[in-house]
Amino acid sequence: MFDPAIEQPVPLADVPKLKWMPKRGGKRMAFSTVWRWSMRGSGGVKLETLRIGRTLCTSEEALKRFFARLTDPSASSTTRTPTQRQRDVERAEAELAAARI
């Protein structure tokens, strides 16, 4: 979540209208794309949003951070599947048991 005192909130509906947003074939990005980035994310990275009243907002800075994390995989936090998470827990428990902790 971004800080609206520092970054200017932009309603999600206005994101495709930003002049610097990429266009394909001269057409603006669909609002559903921005909505999906905020709800489900892309490549394990979610767009930072903030609800102001009934309006879901982001900021230009949050969009730039989102794109930077998508571009540089090492900068993004990786998401684990439930199976991977369970395997990691079991591995950690085995290490603790081996160390008698």
Per residue in 14-57, pLDDT (tens digit) is 999 998 887 888 889 899 999 999 999 998 889 999 999 999 99
Beta strands per DSSP E along the chain: 9-11, 50-52, 55-59
Per residue in 2-26, pLDDT (tens digit) is 788 899 999 999 999 998 887 888 8
**Region of 58 on the Ramachandran plot (φ > 0 left; ψ -120 to 50 alpha; else beta):** beta
Rounded to 5 degrees, what are φ and ψ at 52? -115, 105
